[in-house]
Amino acid sequence: MSEIRHSILFDEKRCIACVACTKACPSRAIRVRGGRVQVNADLCIDCGECIRACPHDAMSVRTSSPSDLKRFRHTVAIPSTTLYTQFGGDVRPSHLLHALTRIGFDSFYDMSWMCEMVGQALDAYLSECQDPWPKISVTCPAVIRLIQIRYPDLLPHLAPIESPRELTAKLIRRRVAQERGLPPEEIGIFYVTPCSAIMHSIIYPVGLEESYLDGAFSVAEVYGPLRMAMEEMGEASSSSATGFSPRGLGWAAAGGESAMMRNANTLTVNGVAEITHVFDRIEAGKFRSVDYIEAYICPEGCVSGPLLVEGWWRAKRNLREVISRLGRQASIQEEKTRKLFREHFFDLEEEVKARALRPIARDLKQAILRKREKEGLLALLPGKNCAACGAPDCATLAEDILEGDAVPEDCVFVKLDRLAGPSSARGGKASNDSRAKERPGPPGAAGPERDT
């Protein structure tokens, strides 16, 4: 097992060992065995689908704690642009930002302008980059990790432009240090995150040796305090809404990046099912006429992140309203962005590498043998994908059995069938000869004793 420490925490006391998380995990990293949840750290991509799926709140995210703020002489909050979508359509972004200083941060920075700059940089990159097409966005860290694990062939497709959150932190650390006359390391920069994937990317960055962010809090945990602070502040206290980028705010929802690409043929892909479909085809050489793919593991982009409070159907509407209320704003000067682009300000600092998993077999012959064994097991299992065994589906249980992590009797149907004995007519698939092949001797006699 890898040493990667993930951002998702599991609370055994709340868990009732149902299989909601197992079934929701796009990486098939979760098993429920012996009444306990086990997560394969090699496979977890920190997407947070388990947090969303758990009806008992047993999954949560390891965020920063208020005591982390005390380690720094000056703290800055950078809220994800999704924060502006959580308090109704008539919330003023500047009001919200000022409220951050009332809940424990010394100052704040809006990053919508950086989203606009990164959009311009991507547009510049797309106009001059080389094969292979299409390029794939690196905005969603869960998508990057999915590519590292399941689609290593697609790594050369990643657009090597850093995310707006990291670039904002990089830039404002310098700026705040100058303004306040403080050493950069005494400034704590904290993100307000809509998801576990970004939290994990701060602890274990990809494309970057070390994150420019010092930690993060979830939108859900600052939501209550922020709401109270805004009420206390009243209407008059905040300044007018300037300095926001409406185009950058659009990045909060899927399609926001693509809307900024003027000369590129773009495609927005949301959720694991769509991603799998499209990525499988990119691997097969399709989609070459598309220049840029904006992909999010969440169903509607960041605005549907697992750590948000507002339902995304409303958050999306709020976002449109907030943007239209901002009206016309001065846009970022493109020459400035182009200059920074040429100076490699936006570049990913490190190459994104494949995250290799254990090879399943030593050589081709062994792999074929293993595949046959798996097919034999699949013939034995009912194919209902009920997950009652604790694996997400029958195919995964078959793999677990081959690995020695499970036994066929973990399947309730197999177990029932074996308890009923070999003469039972009920079993259907479960009484066929693949079982006899799997275990020599009279099958009915050996069954129950092997239960553990």
Applying CB under 8 A, the span of 58-66, 283-291, 402-410, 431-439 interacting with other proteins comes to: 283-291
Starting from the edge strand earliest in sequence, which strands make up the sheet with 266-270, in order?
135-136, 292-296, 266-270
Q: Look up residue 119 and give its two tokens.
A: 């959009």
Binding of residue 286 to other proteins (CB under 8 A)? yes
Question: Is the Cβ of residue 179 or residue 280 nearer to other proteins in the bound state?
Answer: 280
Q: Are 261 and 255 in contact (CB under 8 A)?
A: no
Contact with other proteins (CB under 8 A) among 11, 57, 185, 280: 280
Interaction residues for other proteins, span 350-379 (CB under 8 A): 359-361, 363-365, 367-368, 371-372, 375
Question: At closest approach, how far in Å is the CB of 123 from other proteins?
Answer: 24
Applying CB under 8 A, the span of 195-203, 254-262, 276-284, 442-450 interacting with other proteins comes to: 276-284
Question: Is the Cβ of residue 156 or residue 444 nearer to other proteins in the bound state?
Answer: 156
Applying CB under 8 A, the span of 61-69, 281-289, 344-352, 423-431 interacting with other proteins comes to: 281-289
Nearest Cα to Cα of residue 115 among 285, 319, 353, 400: 319
Residue 160 burial (10 A CB sphere; 0-12, 13-18, 19+) = middle
Question: Is the Cβ of residue 153 or residue 433 nearer to other proteins in the bound state?
Answer: 153
Looking at 139-287, which runs of residues are DSSP E strands? 187-193, 215-218, 266-270
The β-bridge partners of 136 are 158, 293
Interaction residues for other proteins, span 51-110 (CB under 8 A): none
Question: Is the Cβ of residue 50 or residue 282 nearer to other proteins in the bound state?
Answer: 282
Which three-class secondary structure string do you get for 285-329?
CCCCCCCEEEEECCECEHHHCCCCCCCHHHHHHHHHHHHHHHCCC
Contact with other proteins (CB under 8 A) among 285, 327, 440, 441: 285
Binding of residue 283 to other proteins (CB under 8 A)? yes
Interaction residues for other proteins, span 123-152 (CB under 8 A): 152
SS3 409: helix
Question: Is the Cβ of residue 16 or residue 356 nearer to other proteins in the bound state?
Answer: 356
Judged by CB under 8 A, the number of residues near other proteins is: 20
- Please name the residues in contact with 180: beta carbons below 8 A apart, sequence gap of 6 or more: 74, 187
Q: Are 116 and 336 in contact (CB under 8 A)?
A: no
Q: Look up residue 208 and give its two tokens.
A: 């970057």
Interacting residues with other proteins (CB under 8 A): 152-153, 280-281, 283-286, 289, 359-361, 363-365, 367-368, 371-372, 375
